[in-house]
Chain A
Amino acid sequence: MIKKVWKSLVIVFILLFLYLPILVLMAYSFTDATNIGAIRGFSLHNYVTLFTTPELVHMILGTVVLALASALFATILGTLGAIGTFYSKKTMASAVTTMNQVPVVNADVVTGFSICILLVVVFGVSKDTFIPLIVGHVTLCAPFVFLSVIPKLKQMDSSIYEAALDLGATPFTALIRIVIPQIFPGIVSGFALAVTLSLDDYFVATYTKPATFDTISTYVVNATKGAQTTIKTALWALSTVIFLLVVLLTVVMNLRAGKGSQERSGV
Protein backbone atom coordinates (compact mmCIF):
# COMPACT_ATOMS: atom_id res chain seq x y z
CA MET A 1 0.00 0.00 0.00
CA ILE A 2 2.76 2.43 1.04
CA LYS A 3 4.73 1.35 -2.00
CA LYS A 4 1.77 2.23 -4.19
CA VAL A 5 1.53 5.71 -2.66
CA TRP A 6 5.24 6.27 -3.26
CA LYS A 7 4.90 5.23 -6.87
CA SER A 8 1.98 7.56 -7.49
CA LEU A 9 3.87 10.38 -5.77
CA VAL A 10 6.86 9.97 -8.10
CA ILE A 11 4.62 10.01 -11.17
CA VAL A 12 2.63 13.03 -9.95
CA PHE A 13 5.79 14.93 -9.01
CA ILE A 14 7.42 14.49 -12.43
CA LEU A 15 4.14 15.29 -14.21
CA LEU A 16 3.90 18.49 -12.16
CA PHE A 17 7.45 19.39 -13.20
CA LEU A 18 6.45 18.94 -16.86
CA TYR A 19 3.04 20.60 -16.74
CA LEU A 20 3.03 23.18 -13.95
CA PRO A 21 4.85 25.89 -15.96
CA ILE A 22 2.53 25.42 -18.96
CA LEU A 23 -0.62 25.38 -16.83
CA VAL A 24 0.37 28.44 -14.81
CA LEU A 25 1.19 30.33 -17.99
CA MET A 26 -2.13 29.21 -19.40
CA ALA A 27 -4.01 30.61 -16.39
CA TYR A 28 -2.13 33.90 -16.64
CA SER A 29 -2.79 34.21 -20.36
CA PHE A 30 -6.43 34.93 -19.45
CA THR A 31 -5.55 37.90 -17.24
CA ASP A 32 -4.09 41.33 -17.92
CA ALA A 33 -1.07 40.62 -15.68
CA THR A 34 2.34 41.22 -17.24
CA ASN A 35 4.25 39.01 -14.80
CA ILE A 36 3.58 35.64 -13.21
CA GLY A 37 2.72 36.13 -9.54
CA ALA A 38 0.75 39.35 -9.94
CA ILE A 39 -2.95 38.85 -9.31
CA ARG A 40 -5.08 40.64 -11.89
CA GLY A 41 -8.53 40.48 -13.41
CA PHE A 42 -9.80 38.26 -16.20
CA SER A 43 -9.07 39.52 -19.69
CA LEU A 44 -8.92 38.21 -23.21
CA HIS A 45 -6.72 40.98 -24.56
CA ASN A 46 -3.77 38.61 -25.06
CA TYR A 47 -5.86 36.58 -27.46
CA VAL A 48 -7.06 39.69 -29.27
CA THR A 49 -3.44 40.82 -29.66
CA LEU A 50 -2.38 37.37 -30.81
CA PHE A 51 -4.94 37.16 -33.60
CA THR A 52 -4.96 40.82 -34.71
CA THR A 53 -1.27 41.77 -34.73
CA PRO A 54 -0.18 41.22 -38.37
CA GLU A 55 3.39 40.39 -37.34
CA LEU A 56 2.21 37.57 -35.06
CA VAL A 57 -0.38 36.22 -37.49
CA HIS A 58 2.17 36.13 -40.34
CA MET A 59 4.70 34.39 -38.14
CA ILE A 60 2.21 31.69 -37.09
CA LEU A 61 0.87 31.12 -40.61
CA GLY A 62 4.40 31.10 -42.01
CA THR A 63 5.47 28.44 -39.53
CA VAL A 64 2.46 26.25 -40.32
CA VAL A 65 2.83 26.58 -44.10
CA LEU A 66 6.55 25.86 -43.85
CA ALA A 67 5.90 22.78 -41.69
CA LEU A 68 3.22 21.40 -44.02
CA ALA A 69 5.24 22.07 -47.17
CA SER A 70 8.47 20.59 -45.88
CA ALA A 71 6.62 17.64 -44.35
CA LEU A 72 4.95 16.98 -47.69
CA PHE A 73 8.27 17.01 -49.59
CA ALA A 74 9.92 14.97 -46.84
CA THR A 75 7.13 12.40 -46.91
CA ILE A 76 7.27 11.93 -50.68
CA LEU A 77 11.06 11.71 -50.75
CA GLY A 78 11.36 9.57 -47.63
CA THR A 79 8.62 7.13 -48.64
CA LEU A 80 9.94 6.63 -52.17
CA GLY A 81 13.43 6.33 -50.69
CA ALA A 82 12.27 3.67 -48.25
CA ILE A 83 10.50 1.64 -50.97
CA GLY A 84 13.50 1.89 -53.29
CA THR A 85 15.92 0.99 -50.54
CA PHE A 86 13.83 -1.95 -49.39
CA TYR A 87 14.03 -3.53 -52.86
CA SER A 88 17.68 -2.61 -53.49
CA LYS A 89 20.80 -4.71 -53.20
CA LYS A 90 22.40 -4.83 -49.78
CA THR A 91 25.32 -2.44 -50.47
CA MET A 92 23.04 0.24 -51.89
CA ALA A 93 20.54 -0.23 -49.06
CA SER A 94 23.16 0.07 -46.36
CA ALA A 95 24.67 3.15 -48.04
CA VAL A 96 21.30 4.93 -48.03
CA THR A 97 20.50 3.78 -44.49
CA THR A 98 23.85 5.10 -43.24
CA MET A 99 23.42 8.47 -44.97
CA ASN A 100 19.88 8.60 -43.60
CA GLN A 101 21.22 8.17 -40.07
CA VAL A 102 23.48 11.24 -40.27
CA PRO A 103 20.84 13.98 -39.74
CA VAL A 104 19.15 11.77 -37.13
CA VAL A 105 22.15 11.55 -34.81
CA ASN A 106 23.78 14.83 -35.79
CA ALA A 107 23.24 18.00 -33.78
CA ASP A 108 20.69 20.27 -35.47
CA VAL A 109 23.15 23.17 -35.17
CA VAL A 110 25.60 21.27 -37.35
CA THR A 111 22.92 20.24 -39.88
CA GLY A 112 21.67 23.81 -40.22
CA PHE A 113 25.12 25.37 -40.36
CA SER A 114 26.46 22.90 -42.93
CA ILE A 115 23.45 23.38 -45.25
CA CYS A 116 23.84 27.13 -44.93
CA ILE A 117 27.52 26.85 -45.88
CA LEU A 118 26.80 24.63 -48.88
CA LEU A 119 23.85 26.51 -50.34
CA VAL A 120 24.43 30.09 -49.26
CA VAL A 121 28.21 30.39 -49.08
CA VAL A 122 29.35 27.93 -51.76
CA PHE A 123 26.47 28.00 -54.26
CA GLY A 124 25.42 31.58 -53.51
CA VAL A 125 21.70 30.77 -53.21
CA SER A 126 19.92 33.71 -51.60
CA LYS A 127 18.17 32.92 -48.33
CA ASP A 128 15.28 35.12 -49.51
CA THR A 129 14.31 32.42 -52.04
CA PHE A 130 13.31 30.17 -49.09
CA ILE A 131 15.21 27.36 -50.86
CA PRO A 132 17.82 26.90 -48.10
CA LEU A 133 15.08 26.91 -45.45
CA ILE A 134 12.91 24.32 -47.23
CA VAL A 135 15.92 22.15 -48.07
CA GLY A 136 17.06 22.38 -44.45
CA HIS A 137 13.71 21.32 -43.08
CA VAL A 138 13.27 18.51 -45.61
CA THR A 139 16.75 17.25 -44.65
CA LEU A 140 15.75 17.41 -41.01
CA CYS A 141 12.44 15.55 -41.50
CA ALA A 142 12.82 13.09 -44.39
CA PRO A 143 15.10 10.67 -42.47
CA PHE A 144 12.37 10.21 -39.87
CA VAL A 145 9.77 9.48 -42.55
CA PHE A 146 12.20 6.93 -43.99
CA LEU A 147 12.61 5.36 -40.53
CA SER A 148 8.87 5.10 -39.93
CA VAL A 149 8.12 3.58 -43.37
CA ILE A 150 10.88 0.92 -43.41
CA PRO A 151 9.40 -1.22 -40.58
CA LYS A 152 6.01 -1.28 -42.36
CA LEU A 153 7.70 -2.54 -45.54
CA LYS A 154 9.36 -5.29 -43.53
CA GLN A 155 6.02 -6.35 -42.01
CA MET A 156 4.31 -6.30 -45.41
CA ASP A 157 3.09 -9.54 -46.93
CA SER A 158 5.08 -9.65 -50.19
CA SER A 159 2.98 -12.44 -51.71
CA ILE A 160 0.04 -10.05 -52.25
CA TYR A 161 2.21 -7.92 -54.53
CA GLU A 162 3.28 -11.02 -56.46
CA ALA A 163 -0.35 -12.13 -56.71
CA ALA A 164 -1.33 -8.72 -58.15
CA LEU A 165 1.37 -9.06 -60.81
CA ASP A 166 0.22 -12.61 -61.62
CA LEU A 167 -3.31 -11.30 -62.03
CA GLY A 168 -2.05 -8.87 -64.63
CA ALA A 169 -1.46 -5.64 -62.71
CA THR A 170 1.45 -3.52 -63.91
CA PRO A 171 4.17 -2.96 -61.29
CA PHE A 172 3.03 0.67 -61.01
CA THR A 173 -0.60 -0.30 -60.34
CA ALA A 174 0.51 -2.95 -57.88
CA LEU A 175 2.65 -0.38 -56.09
CA ILE A 176 -0.20 2.12 -55.80
CA ARG A 177 -2.95 -0.37 -54.97
CA ILE A 178 -1.04 -2.96 -52.92
CA VAL A 179 2.19 -1.62 -51.44
CA ILE A 180 1.14 1.95 -50.57
CA PRO A 181 -2.05 0.91 -48.68
CA GLN A 182 -0.06 -1.61 -46.65
CA ILE A 183 2.58 0.89 -45.58
CA PHE A 184 0.13 3.80 -45.26
CA PRO A 185 0.13 3.92 -41.42
CA GLY A 186 3.92 4.36 -41.56
CA ILE A 187 3.58 7.15 -44.12
CA VAL A 188 1.00 8.96 -41.98
CA SER A 189 3.04 8.75 -38.78
CA GLY A 190 6.12 9.81 -40.75
CA PHE A 191 4.25 12.86 -42.04
CA ALA A 192 2.99 13.76 -38.55
CA LEU A 193 6.49 13.37 -37.16
CA ALA A 194 7.87 15.56 -39.95
CA VAL A 195 5.32 18.28 -39.14
CA THR A 196 6.18 18.28 -35.44
CA LEU A 197 9.93 18.30 -36.13
CA SER A 198 9.58 21.26 -38.47
CA LEU A 199 7.32 23.14 -36.04
CA ASP A 200 9.77 22.58 -33.20
CA ASP A 201 12.93 23.42 -35.10
CA TYR A 202 14.98 26.45 -34.15
CA PHE A 203 18.51 25.74 -35.28
CA VAL A 204 18.08 24.79 -38.93
CA ALA A 205 15.71 27.74 -39.38
CA THR A 206 18.08 30.32 -37.83
CA TYR A 207 20.89 29.39 -40.18
CA THR A 208 18.84 29.15 -43.35
CA LYS A 209 15.81 31.48 -43.08
CA PRO A 210 15.38 34.83 -44.85
CA ALA A 211 16.08 37.75 -42.50
CA THR A 212 12.50 39.02 -42.69
CA PHE A 213 10.84 35.65 -42.06
CA ASP A 214 10.34 34.13 -38.62
CA THR A 215 9.12 30.77 -37.41
CA ILE A 216 7.47 30.47 -33.99
CA SER A 217 10.75 29.27 -32.47
CA THR A 218 12.98 31.99 -33.89
CA TYR A 219 10.35 34.62 -33.13
CA VAL A 220 9.86 33.53 -29.52
CA VAL A 221 13.59 33.36 -28.87
CA ASN A 222 14.09 36.91 -30.16
CA ALA A 223 10.94 38.24 -28.49
CA THR A 224 12.02 37.04 -25.04
CA LYS A 225 15.22 39.02 -25.43
CA GLY A 226 13.45 42.21 -26.51
CA ALA A 227 10.80 41.84 -23.76
CA GLN A 228 8.09 43.97 -25.33
CA THR A 229 5.33 43.32 -22.82
CA THR A 230 2.29 43.10 -25.09
CA ILE A 231 4.09 40.66 -27.38
CA LYS A 232 5.41 38.67 -24.44
CA THR A 233 1.96 38.11 -22.95
CA ALA A 234 0.43 37.45 -26.38
CA LEU A 235 2.91 34.57 -26.65
CA TRP A 236 1.43 33.14 -23.44
CA ALA A 237 -1.84 33.00 -25.31
CA LEU A 238 -0.06 31.26 -28.19
CA SER A 239 1.33 28.60 -25.80
CA THR A 240 -2.18 28.04 -24.49
CA VAL A 241 -3.64 27.64 -27.98
CA ILE A 242 -0.89 25.21 -29.01
CA PHE A 243 -1.20 23.24 -25.76
CA LEU A 244 -4.97 22.87 -26.21
CA LEU A 245 -4.51 21.84 -29.86
CA VAL A 246 -1.96 19.20 -28.85
CA VAL A 247 -4.31 17.83 -26.17
CA LEU A 248 -7.19 17.75 -28.65
CA LEU A 249 -5.09 15.99 -31.30
CA THR A 250 -3.79 13.45 -28.80
CA VAL A 251 -7.30 12.60 -27.63
CA VAL A 252 -8.62 12.28 -31.21
CA MET A 253 -5.64 10.14 -32.26
CA ASN A 254 -6.02 7.84 -29.27
CA LEU A 255 -9.74 7.40 -29.81
CA ARG A 256 -9.12 6.51 -33.44
CA ALA A 257 -6.21 4.21 -32.58
CA GLY A 258 -8.41 2.48 -29.99
CA LYS A 259 -11.13 1.94 -32.56
CA GLY A 260 -8.58 0.68 -35.09
CA SER A 261 -7.13 -1.93 -32.74
CA GLN A 262 -10.64 -3.15 -31.86
CA GLU A 263 -11.42 -3.59 -35.54
CA ARG A 264 -8.15 -5.36 -36.16
CA SER A 265 -8.60 -7.73 -33.23
CA GLY A 266 -12.07 -8.51 -34.57
CA VAL A 267 -10.62 -9.84 -37.83
Chain B
Amino acid sequence: MYRHLFSRKNLGIPYALFLALFVMAPLFVLFYYAFTNGEGEFTVLNLTGFFTDPNTLGTLCYSFGIASVTTVVCLLMAYPVAYILATSKLRAKSVILMLFVMPMWINFSLRITALKEILTWIEGSLAYHPFLNTVLGMSYDFLPFMILPIYTTISKLDGALLEAARDLGAGNIQAFLKVTLPLSMPGIISGVSMVFLPAMTNYVVLDMLYNSTYIMGSLIGSYFAAYNWHGGSMIALILLGIVCLFTLFTRGIEEENTRGGMLL
Protein backbone atom coordinates (compact mmCIF):
# COMPACT_ATOMS: atom_id res chain seq x y z
CA MET B 1 0.00 0.00 0.00
CA TYR B 2 2.77 2.44 0.89
CA ARG B 3 4.41 1.81 -2.45
CA HIS B 4 1.18 2.78 -4.24
CA LEU B 5 0.88 6.08 -2.44
CA PHE B 6 4.49 6.74 -3.18
CA SER B 7 3.98 6.42 -6.93
CA ARG B 8 1.04 8.81 -6.94
CA LYS B 9 3.07 11.39 -5.05
CA ASN B 10 5.79 11.19 -7.68
CA LEU B 11 3.41 12.45 -10.34
CA GLY B 12 3.82 15.92 -8.88
CA ILE B 13 7.58 15.99 -9.31
CA PRO B 14 7.68 17.36 -12.89
CA TYR B 15 5.39 20.22 -11.96
CA ALA B 16 7.32 21.01 -8.77
CA LEU B 17 10.54 21.11 -10.80
CA PHE B 18 8.87 23.22 -13.46
CA LEU B 19 7.71 25.74 -10.85
CA ALA B 20 11.13 25.82 -9.21
CA LEU B 21 12.85 26.37 -12.55
CA PHE B 22 10.49 28.82 -14.25
CA VAL B 23 8.79 30.58 -11.37
CA MET B 24 11.27 30.67 -8.50
CA ALA B 25 14.58 30.77 -10.41
CA PRO B 26 13.50 33.80 -12.52
CA LEU B 27 12.70 35.66 -9.31
CA PHE B 28 16.18 34.96 -7.91
CA VAL B 29 17.73 36.05 -11.19
CA LEU B 30 15.61 39.20 -11.04
CA PHE B 31 16.93 39.84 -7.54
CA TYR B 32 20.53 39.32 -8.68
CA TYR B 33 20.17 41.65 -11.65
CA ALA B 34 18.40 44.32 -9.64
CA PHE B 35 21.34 44.59 -7.23
CA THR B 36 24.20 44.41 -9.71
CA ASN B 37 25.46 46.73 -12.43
CA GLY B 38 26.66 46.02 -15.98
CA GLU B 39 30.03 44.73 -14.68
CA GLY B 40 28.36 42.26 -12.34
CA GLU B 41 29.36 44.20 -9.21
CA PHE B 42 27.01 44.58 -6.27
CA THR B 43 25.23 47.93 -6.21
CA VAL B 44 22.20 49.54 -4.63
CA LEU B 45 22.20 52.36 -7.17
CA ASN B 46 19.25 50.86 -9.07
CA LEU B 47 17.20 50.98 -5.88
CA THR B 48 18.29 54.39 -4.63
CA GLY B 49 18.06 55.70 -8.19
CA PHE B 50 14.42 54.75 -8.34
CA PHE B 51 13.52 56.48 -5.10
CA THR B 52 15.49 59.67 -5.76
CA ASP B 53 14.60 60.27 -9.41
CA PRO B 54 11.55 62.55 -9.60
CA ASN B 55 10.54 60.93 -12.91
CA THR B 56 10.29 57.39 -11.58
CA LEU B 57 8.68 58.58 -8.35
CA GLY B 58 6.16 60.51 -10.43
CA THR B 59 5.48 57.35 -12.41
CA LEU B 60 4.89 55.43 -9.18
CA CYS B 61 2.42 58.08 -7.97
CA TYR B 62 0.66 58.27 -11.34
CA SER B 63 0.31 54.46 -11.37
CA PHE B 64 -1.21 54.55 -7.90
CA GLY B 65 -3.53 57.33 -9.04
CA ILE B 66 -4.69 55.53 -12.19
CA ALA B 67 -5.06 52.25 -10.33
CA SER B 68 -6.99 53.79 -7.42
CA VAL B 69 -9.40 55.71 -9.63
CA THR B 70 -9.93 52.66 -11.87
CA THR B 71 -10.58 50.48 -8.83
CA VAL B 72 -13.11 52.92 -7.38
CA VAL B 73 -14.89 53.30 -10.75
CA CYS B 74 -15.02 49.52 -11.19
CA LEU B 75 -16.30 49.04 -7.65
CA LEU B 76 -19.03 51.66 -8.10
CA MET B 77 -20.20 49.95 -11.28
CA ALA B 78 -19.69 46.36 -10.14
CA TYR B 79 -21.24 46.44 -6.68
CA PRO B 80 -24.77 47.44 -7.74
CA VAL B 81 -24.69 44.92 -10.60
CA ALA B 82 -23.44 42.10 -8.38
CA TYR B 83 -25.91 43.02 -5.63
CA ILE B 84 -28.91 43.23 -7.97
CA LEU B 85 -28.05 39.94 -9.68
CA ALA B 86 -27.24 38.06 -6.48
CA THR B 87 -30.42 39.13 -4.71
CA SER B 88 -32.79 38.82 -7.67
CA LYS B 89 -35.05 35.83 -8.06
CA LEU B 90 -35.04 36.03 -11.85
CA ARG B 91 -34.64 32.72 -13.62
CA ALA B 92 -32.60 34.42 -16.30
CA LYS B 93 -30.01 35.69 -13.85
CA SER B 94 -27.39 33.11 -14.77
CA VAL B 95 -27.73 34.20 -18.39
CA ILE B 96 -27.29 37.85 -17.40
CA LEU B 97 -24.29 36.96 -15.26
CA MET B 98 -22.85 35.14 -18.27
CA LEU B 99 -23.24 38.34 -20.30
CA PHE B 100 -21.07 40.15 -17.77
CA VAL B 101 -18.42 37.43 -17.85
CA MET B 102 -18.31 36.87 -21.61
CA PRO B 103 -16.19 39.93 -22.50
CA MET B 104 -13.30 38.33 -20.58
CA TRP B 105 -13.03 35.73 -23.33
CA ILE B 106 -12.63 38.28 -26.11
CA ASN B 107 -9.07 39.38 -26.71
CA PHE B 108 -8.49 42.51 -24.62
CA SER B 109 -6.53 44.36 -27.30
CA LEU B 110 -9.46 43.99 -29.70
CA ARG B 111 -11.90 45.20 -27.05
CA ILE B 112 -9.72 48.23 -26.31
CA THR B 113 -9.55 48.90 -30.07
CA ALA B 114 -13.35 48.95 -30.15
CA LEU B 115 -13.50 51.34 -27.20
CA LYS B 116 -10.84 53.51 -28.80
CA GLU B 117 -12.82 53.89 -32.02
CA ILE B 118 -15.95 54.83 -30.08
CA LEU B 119 -14.13 57.33 -27.86
CA THR B 120 -12.43 58.90 -30.89
CA TRP B 121 -15.84 59.35 -32.47
CA ILE B 122 -17.43 60.84 -29.33
CA GLU B 123 -14.54 63.05 -28.21
CA GLY B 124 -13.16 64.03 -31.62
CA SER B 125 -9.63 63.25 -30.50
CA LEU B 126 -8.30 61.04 -27.75
CA ALA B 127 -5.72 63.68 -26.89
CA TYR B 128 -8.20 65.87 -24.99
CA HIS B 129 -8.85 63.55 -22.05
CA PRO B 130 -5.96 61.08 -21.65
CA PHE B 131 -6.61 60.37 -17.96
CA LEU B 132 -10.36 59.89 -18.40
CA ASN B 133 -9.84 57.65 -21.42
CA THR B 134 -7.30 55.50 -19.59
CA VAL B 135 -9.60 55.03 -16.61
CA LEU B 136 -12.49 54.19 -18.95
CA GLY B 137 -10.30 51.74 -20.88
CA MET B 138 -9.06 49.98 -17.77
CA SER B 139 -12.53 49.83 -16.21
CA TYR B 140 -13.85 48.45 -19.48
CA ASP B 141 -11.12 45.82 -19.42
CA PHE B 142 -11.25 44.83 -15.75
CA LEU B 143 -14.93 45.28 -14.75
CA PRO B 144 -15.87 41.55 -14.97
CA PHE B 145 -13.04 40.72 -12.52
CA MET B 146 -14.74 42.97 -9.97
CA ILE B 147 -18.31 41.77 -10.58
CA LEU B 148 -17.66 38.06 -10.25
CA PRO B 149 -16.12 37.81 -6.75
CA ILE B 150 -18.64 40.28 -5.27
CA TYR B 151 -21.51 38.35 -6.86
CA THR B 152 -20.20 35.07 -5.43
CA THR B 153 -19.87 36.50 -1.91
CA ILE B 154 -23.31 38.12 -1.87
CA SER B 155 -25.06 35.02 -3.22
CA LYS B 156 -23.49 32.89 -0.47
CA LEU B 157 -24.75 35.34 2.16
CA ASP B 158 -27.00 33.81 4.81
CA GLY B 159 -30.49 35.29 4.38
CA ALA B 160 -31.35 34.53 8.01
CA LEU B 161 -28.92 37.25 9.11
CA LEU B 162 -30.86 39.86 7.16
CA GLU B 163 -34.15 38.61 8.61
CA ALA B 164 -32.66 38.78 12.08
CA ALA B 165 -31.55 42.36 11.43
CA ARG B 166 -35.09 43.25 10.32
CA ASP B 167 -36.64 41.53 13.35
CA LEU B 168 -34.34 43.52 15.57
CA GLY B 169 -35.70 46.70 14.04
CA ALA B 170 -33.22 47.59 11.31
CA GLY B 171 -34.57 49.37 8.23
CA ASN B 172 -33.59 48.38 4.70
CA ILE B 173 -30.69 50.80 4.53
CA GLN B 174 -29.47 49.98 8.02
CA ALA B 175 -29.64 46.24 7.32
CA PHE B 176 -27.65 46.76 4.12
CA LEU B 177 -24.99 48.89 5.80
CA LYS B 178 -24.64 46.71 8.91
CA VAL B 179 -25.10 43.23 7.44
CA THR B 180 -24.78 42.94 3.66
CA LEU B 181 -21.95 45.39 3.10
CA PRO B 182 -19.60 44.12 5.85
CA LEU B 183 -20.26 40.53 4.83
CA SER B 184 -19.47 41.27 1.19
CA MET B 185 -16.03 42.64 2.11
CA PRO B 186 -14.15 39.42 1.14
CA GLY B 187 -15.57 39.68 -2.38
CA ILE B 188 -14.80 43.39 -2.57
CA ILE B 189 -11.22 42.85 -1.45
CA SER B 190 -10.76 40.01 -3.89
CA GLY B 191 -12.14 42.18 -6.69
CA VAL B 192 -9.97 45.13 -5.68
CA SER B 193 -6.82 43.02 -5.86
CA MET B 194 -7.91 41.66 -9.26
CA VAL B 195 -8.27 45.21 -10.60
CA PHE B 196 -5.76 47.35 -8.72
CA LEU B 197 -2.57 45.42 -9.55
CA PRO B 198 -3.24 44.96 -13.28
CA ALA B 199 -4.22 48.64 -13.48
CA MET B 200 -0.76 49.59 -12.20
CA THR B 201 1.00 47.55 -14.83
CA ASN B 202 -1.18 47.22 -17.94
CA TYR B 203 0.54 49.93 -19.96
CA VAL B 204 -0.92 48.67 -23.23
CA VAL B 205 -4.24 50.31 -22.41
CA LEU B 206 -2.43 53.65 -22.02
CA ASP B 207 -0.48 53.09 -25.21
CA MET B 208 -3.51 52.19 -27.27
CA LEU B 209 -5.50 55.16 -26.02
CA TYR B 210 -2.59 57.51 -26.79
CA ASN B 211 -1.92 58.43 -23.19
CA SER B 212 1.80 59.23 -23.31
CA THR B 213 2.24 59.17 -19.53
CA TYR B 214 4.15 56.28 -17.94
CA ILE B 215 2.89 53.81 -15.37
CA MET B 216 5.00 51.18 -13.58
CA GLY B 217 4.58 48.61 -16.33
CA SER B 218 5.75 51.07 -18.99
CA LEU B 219 9.06 51.46 -17.13
CA ILE B 220 9.78 47.73 -17.51
CA GLY B 221 8.84 48.05 -21.18
CA SER B 222 11.20 50.95 -21.77
CA TYR B 223 14.13 49.32 -19.92
CA PHE B 224 13.45 46.16 -21.93
CA ALA B 225 13.52 48.11 -25.18
CA ALA B 226 16.86 49.62 -24.12
CA TYR B 227 18.31 46.20 -23.10
CA ASN B 228 18.80 47.56 -19.58
CA TRP B 229 18.19 44.33 -17.64
CA HIS B 230 19.41 45.77 -14.34
CA GLY B 231 17.05 48.76 -14.26
CA GLY B 232 14.16 46.63 -15.54
CA SER B 233 14.79 43.99 -12.88
CA MET B 234 14.68 46.63 -10.16
CA ILE B 235 11.29 47.89 -11.38
CA ALA B 236 10.02 44.30 -11.60
CA LEU B 237 11.27 43.70 -8.05
CA ILE B 238 9.54 46.83 -6.76
CA LEU B 239 6.30 45.70 -8.43
CA LEU B 240 6.78 42.29 -6.87
CA GLY B 241 7.17 44.00 -3.49
CA ILE B 242 3.89 45.85 -4.03
CA VAL B 243 2.18 42.57 -4.98
CA CYS B 244 3.55 40.90 -1.82
CA LEU B 245 2.41 43.77 0.42
CA PHE B 246 -1.01 43.67 -1.17
CA THR B 247 -1.28 39.90 -0.73
CA LEU B 248 -0.20 40.13 2.91
CA PHE B 249 -2.87 42.72 3.65
CA THR B 250 -5.63 40.86 1.90
CA ARG B 251 -4.71 37.30 2.86
CA GLY B 252 -7.31 35.54 4.93
CA ILE B 253 -10.22 37.78 4.04
CA GLU B 254 -9.94 37.13 0.33
CA GLU B 255 -12.25 34.80 -1.57
CA GLU B 256 -10.49 32.25 -3.73
CA ASN B 257 -8.81 33.96 -6.66
CA THR B 258 -11.34 34.57 -9.36
CA ARG B 259 -9.11 34.88 -12.37
CA GLY B 260 -9.38 31.12 -12.07
CA GLY B 261 -13.15 31.35 -11.68
CA MET B 262 -13.62 32.92 -15.09
CA LEU B 263 -15.24 29.81 -16.49
CA LEU B 264 -17.78 29.61 -13.67
Contacts and interface: CB of A to CB of B under 8 A. Distances in A.
Interface of A: 7, 10-11, 14-15, 17-22, 24-25, 28, 35-37, 77-78, 80-85, 87-88, 92, 95-96, 99-100, 102-111, 113-118, 121-122, 135, 138-139, 142, 144, 146-148, 165, 171-172, 175, 189, 192-193, 196, 199-200, 202-203, 206-207, 216-217, 220-221, 224-225, 235-236, 238-239, 242-243, 246-247, 249-250, 254
Given A99-B23, A114-B27, A217-B109, A80 B15 contact: yes
A199 B262 CA distance: 14
Q: How large is the interface on B (under 10, 10 to 19, 20 to 34, 35 or more residues)?
A: 35 or more
Contacts of B249: none
A140 to B, nearest CB: 10
Contact of A21 (B19, B111, B207): B111
Contacts of A82: 12, 15
27 contacts: A7-B88, A11-B81, A14-B77, A14-B143, A21-B117, A35-B121, A81-B11, A81-B14, A81-B15, A81-B19, A84-B8, A102-B19, A102-B27, A103-B23, A105-B193, A109-B220, A109-B221, A109-B236, A114-B236, A118-B26, A135-B22, A138-B18, A138-B22, A189-B263, A200-B107, A200-B108, A217-B108
Given A11-B84, A84-B12, 5 more contacts: A22-B111, A106-B240, A171-B7, A203-B217, A242-B107
A221 B9 contact: no
Contacts of A220: 107, 109-110, 113
Contacts of B4: 165, 171
Interface in B109-155: 109-111, 113-118, 120-121, 140, 143-144
A144 B256 CA distance: 12
B102 to A, nearest CB: 6
Interface string B18-52: 11101111110110010000000000000000000
A104 B85 CA distance: 27
Interface of B: 1, 4-5, 7-16, 18-20, 22-27, 29-30, 33, 77, 80-81, 84-85, 88, 95-96, 98-100, 102-111, 113-118, 120-121, 140, 143-144, 193, 197-198, 200-204, 207-208, 217, 220-221, 224, 229, 232-233, 236, 239-240, 243, 247, 256-257, 259-260, 262-263
B8 A83 contact: yes
A49 to B, nearest CB: 16
